[in-house]
Structure 1
Amino acid sequence: MKITIVAGARPNFMKISPIIKAIQKRNSLGAAIEYRLVHTGQHYDKKMSADFFDQLGIPEPHANLEAGGGTQAEQTAAIMVRFEKELMEHRPNLILVVGDVTSTMACTITAKKLCIDAVHVEAGIRSGDMTMPEEINRIVTDSITDHFFTTSEVANQHLRHSGVGEERIHFVGNTMIDSLIGNLERLLKPALWDDQNLQSGKYFLLTLHRPANVDDPANLDHLLSTIMQCTGDLPVVFPVHPRTKKILDGIGFNNPKLVLAEPMPYLEFIYMVKNALAIITDSGGITEEATVLGVPCMTMRDSTERPETITMGTNELVGTDPAKLVPYLDKVMSGNWKKGAIPPLWDGKTAERIVSKLEDLYIS
């Protein structure tokens, strides 16, 4: 069995690392699985890419398509043109894509037009928000995928409702949680911890990058002001996403409690997540990590593709109106946040289940 594994952006790396390790483990036990790792280059900033390969023990990619930059259409086109050449030169039995970034969609389309099977890890998740590029990526990818590896029963239901047969839906769990659990003993304290005299459970962690929160300077200013006003004397650590930094620099927001930082490597960032009193974010993946770590999480979005983090976990869907954040911050500050549970199969063994199923499908 020959597999081409695609990684394109920071969220992908945490998802492919356990799969590669599971393949290597099976091969050490006598399996015959060849894999080729292709990095599309969608994220090309070192902090957003290379550090993750180093820290997660991902081997150097066999190919880097260097398709970063440009508009959505330009990036999609560049990935497709370069990935087509890659597949024609190194034709696999299947490609494996993860998540919902542009690379996921672009590479799936390219493979299917070459009559190569596509397997989607983290398939079936939906937010219902068609203004999000990721939602379009999910729908297009899942419309032509051959096999679907899912993280939840909710995702299974979405696929069933779209007409996917049970024989192609494989509920395996969450590979991002494999990476989390596998690295908890390796977390690294970032330099700013001592520089800012941070203490466990005595700071908020903030991440923002979605247009609804950061593109309007007035809205971003209002959101930051609200957070500063409702978090007492506690510091707010804000690793600033590159697209957010441009707007933040423009408004010149300044508050002594706000600790601005560069994007952090994985092991340092998870250290910050694990030790935070609470998290304010518009990321999907962070809500999953917060749920497993039992950390209160507030999502600044109007919808989520990960409802299990709310129905079972420690996450709450706040919305994009800064005023709606106030009662949630009050709950955190008063110690009245809900208790969460860990969703089924989020146990650190998802990648093993994926590789086992692939062997059943393509070798047996």
Structure 2
Amino acid sequence: MKMAPILRAFAGHHPAIPTILVHTGQHYDKDMNDRLFVDLRLPHPDINLGVGSGSHAVQTADVMRGFEPVLDTYKPSCVLVVGDVNSTLACTLVGVKRGVPVVHVEAGLRSYDRGMPEEVNRVLTDQIADRLYTTERSALDNLLREGIAEERVRFVGNVMIDSLLSNREFAHPPEKTISEAGANTTLLDDPCGYAVVTLHRPSNVDQEETLRPLLAVLREVSEKLPLVFALHPRTRANIERFALNDLVASERIVLLPPQGYLEMLGLMSGAKLVLTDSGGLQEETTALGIPCLTIRENTERPITVEHGTNTMVGSDRAAILNGVDEILAGGGKCGRIPEFWDGQAAERIAADLAEWLIARHLQTRK
């Protein structure tokens, strides 16, 4: 979702910026991987490392082992990484140690929760990357507090929103998505509308004592308006493992397998509200103007709360139910579109990166 608009902007730049697309294979589920490439009109990766699952240490090490020979073979001018996953940090480490400049897209976001693996990846990547592209102005303050020089940072906007805006016309109608899953589409006709639900973070779904009460409150929410629950493989497996199927077995809850990007975009666009622990959905709901209740205690995307439609409710039953009631009563945040969330972030990255690489090249020749 972040790489697709960047690759298009690089191809459309004058002159074009040549790229080698490396897919680490960290996200390996066929439904959540192959469909994204099709939906986002991404070219097939030039290289697929096929890393797959594993502990954080194993996965990071496997990406590093697989990525180092790629740099030795292609000798790129820079390595561009996006986001905050293990692959981001792993490829950054390899690039820096091999003396290849590293560019980080979506830099400077902070939840200030070091218990989140993604937070560790973000902090370490930003410390050693050479060029940092931010999605919101407050990210610069985070980076300056960590001793990162301002000249390394450029505010360009949000490439996730580039993807959303360029694909909105291709979004699948909710009725089609639900009927193709074999579920009853009449729930979409509920006078209160419907809510979209996603849960996948280990802190929410990996322990029964956390997952059980969350599913219980979602069951209560379903009595107010029907839920369309797109189940991440991790969440589905833990529902089975903890024998919690009865909590989601309801005519008011539609359980869907992992959805493609265009299916989720259509579901969100038609929803009354979204309940999620996804960082990306916090941004997308803000861009769509859909109220979002985030089932986390913190967010690395504060602009979605300050300017957007996002409200943090944690795992607190009362906060979740009160948030739903407020939205159904006509409340909830209307929000506004943040600065530079205009569909042109990737073009700004391409323009700046080309200029920066040329300047570096000229400097090395002196």
- The two structures share one fold, judged by TM-score above 0.5: yes
Q: Tell me, yes or no, if structure 1 residue 63 matches structure 2 residue 47.
A: yes
Secondary structure class of the residue paired with 2:19: strand
What does 1:298-317 align with in structure 2 at a 5 Å threshold?
A: 298-317=293-312
How far is 1:233 from its partner? Answer: 4.7
How far is 1:32 from its partner? Answer: 4.6
Equivalence for 2:232: 241
* Cα distance in 2, alignment partners of residues 106 and 285 from structure 1: 21
How far is 1:216 from its partner? Answer: 2.4
How far is 1:199 from its partner? Answer: 4.2
Equivalence for 2:166: 182
Name the Cα RMSD after superposition.
1.4
Q: TM-score, normalised to structure 1's length? A: 0.92
Cα deviation, 1:187-219, whole Å, max 9, x if unaligned, reads 112534344222497101000011222122243
Equivalences, count: 348
Cα deviation, 1:108-129, whole Å, max 9, x if unaligned, reads 0001000000000000000011
Q: Among the aligned pairs, what percent are the same residue?
A: 45
Cα deviation, 1:319-355, whole Å, max 9, x if unaligned, reads 1233321211110121111220111000000000000
Secondary structure class of the residue paired with 1:259: strand
Equivalence for 1:164: 148
Equivalence for 1:115: 99
Equivalence for 2:213: 222
Which one of 280, 285, 309 corresponds to residue 280 of structure 2? 285
Q: TM-score, normalised to structure 2's length? A: 0.92
1:220–1:32 CA distance, 2 compared to 1 (3 A):
closer
* Cα distance in 1, alignment partners of residues 62 and 223 from structure 2: 48
What does 1:73-88 align with in structure 2 at a 5 Å threshold?
A: 73-88=57-72
Which one of 347, 352, 357 corresponds to residue 352 of structure 2? 357
Equivalence for 1:22: 9
Which one of 202, 214, 219 corresponds to residue 211 of structure 1? 202
Structure 1 contact 233–257 (Cα < 8 Å) conserved: no
Cα deviation, 1:63-109, whole Å, max 9, x if unaligned, reads 00001111111111100001001111111010000000000000000
* Cα distance in 1, alignment partners of residues 96 and 37 from structure 2: 28
Equivalence for 2:108: 124
How far is 1:61 from its partner? Answer: 0.7
Equivalence for 1:7: none
Secondary structure class of the residue paired with 1:238: strand
Which one of 331, 342, 348 corresponds to residue 343 of structure 2? 348
Structure 1 contact 212–320 (Cα < 8 Å) conserved: no
Which one of 156, 178, 185 corresponds to residue 196 of structure 1? 185
Equivalence for 2:326: 331
* Cα distance in 2, alignment partners of residues 175 and 145 from structure 1: 19
Secondary structure class of the residue paired with 2:107: coil
Secondary structure class of the residue paired with 1:363: helix
* Cα distance in 1, alignment partners of residues 203 and 10 from structure 2: 39
* Cα distance in 2, alignment partners of residues 193 and 215 from structure 1: 27
Secondary structure class of the residue paired with 2:319: helix
Segments of 5+ residues of structure 1 without an aligned counterpart are 1-13
1:189 aligned partner, one-letter code: P
Segments of 5+ residues of structure 2 without an aligned counterpart are 360-366
How far is 1:358 from its partner? Answer: 0.6
